[in-house]
Chain A
Amino acid sequence: MDDTEDLRLVRESRQGSRESFERLLIRYEKAVFNAAYRILHDYEDAKDVTQSVFLKAFENLEYFDPKHRFFSWIYRIALNESINLCKSRTRFEAAEDIGVEEQNTPEKVLSKTELSRVVETALLSLGFEYRVVIVLRHFNDCSYREMSEILEIPEKTVKSRLFTARALLRDILCRRGIL
């Protein structure tokens, strides 16, 4: 996404242009929804989080620092909203314990939809901090630097979390016969 265009739209939104905010919404609605869905694994929750993200963004545009990227800021809100929702749902605490069915079968050939479902379930088995880095890197195409900005952690920590997350995910998918 073009940062300059984002900043222009933010500036216009601050001046009262709903059209410009709508443009920002169009640019990031799908990405935010997808990130929330991958993290929460619930369609309705992802919808609620996305709505709340954009309302909060609109209400807090004055606090957005143009030195940062708009998408980092909005993803940060999305993560916080997702964390808050996770905390309020006991089932997400239990989600860490969802036993991924162990099948030492040879590599399976799955349809794209089946594969997506398996990966989504596997993701849910990861701890929140590991799930988030996989989502940002692989589904939102964020660089290490961008992830560091969004998560407010050093790049080194981003890398180590990503390594661990991938190792955990690889193990889960191996047990499911996908890898």
Chain B
Amino acid sequence: MRDSRDTYQYLELIHAAIDGEASRDQVAALREYLAHHPEAQSVHAEMVKLTNILNQVEEIEAPGDLRGSILAALPLQCSTVEIGVRSNRWRLRIPLIRYGYALAAGLLLGVVLTGVVFKNLAPVEKSAVYGTMRAVDNASRYAVTERMTLAALGVAGSVELSRSGDNEMVVFDLNGEAVDVEVGFDGTQADILGFSQQPNGIRFFEAKDSSISFRSGGKQRSTVRLTSRNAQLPLSLRFYVGGKLVHQGTLGAAAPTGSAK
């Protein structure tokens, strides 16, 4: 019994020594044990040999394009980033409203029904308009400046950029089961005016300091309105299907691009 316990103990020590996890005393004790136990010596030799073989296995170089593709697929901002946003309402997430802010939406609706006028009403569930889109928008004044067509895995359609004075309007006509779109821009040069989605209302929409994210489902038209202090406001567009980046491009830059991935 004692022998088998010793054997197990030294077997454990053999592995620990090979893994560099044994103390100096333990290594010395192991050496002593091995000197008197040829069967333990052979186990030790086999393990050393196995370790040497494993150490010879070649390390694989990560693919050259891996880092670039990871960086390209990163959301514009980490989820935890707390950058000062111009207005807190832009941080609101539509699904949260659906569940947690239903009461607030109801109260606001009540206020509207009593005829009290508020500026910049918070959106209600299934709203098709977010922000000041309905009040200010006058699409006929906008002139189309650029257009991008989309034919990627899981999403097809087009994106149109138009401009009227300081205002920019980006219209996404997308067809795909669940397409997540990110619009990135220089937050110091632009403000978000509004967002709308038709038909079926807004499924998911989130605005941050320098990006807008939304989800488009089925055949939907999504419209983003921005006011810009710069006539050339580049917008970086990313389209994700099932969490994977399927298309990205830029609108509004001096040399417009739209590359399929």
Contacts and interface: CB of A to CB of B under 8 A. Distances in A.
Interface of A: 13-16, 18, 21-22, 25-26, 29-30, 33-34, 37, 43, 46-47, 50-52, 54-55, 58-62, 112-113, 115-116, 119-120, 134, 137-139, 143-144, 159, 162-163, 166, 169-170, 173, 178-179
6 contacts: A14-B81, A16-B77, A30-B59, A47-B63, A54-B74, A55-B74
Interface residues of B, number: 38
B60 A33 contact: yes
Nearest to B54: A138
B78 A170 contact: no
B74 A173 contact: no
A75 to B, nearest CB: 15
Given A26-B67, A34-B60, A50-B70, A170 B50 contact: yes
Interface string B62-98: 1100110111011101111101000000000000000
B56 interface: yes
Contacts of A13: 78
Interface of B: 11-12, 15-16, 19-21, 46-47, 49-51, 53-63, 66-67, 69-71, 73-75, 77-81, 83, 243
B53 A119 contact: yes
Contact of A37 (B20, B55, B60, B71): B60
A137 B78 contact: no
Contacts of B47: 166, 170
B66 A29 contact: yes
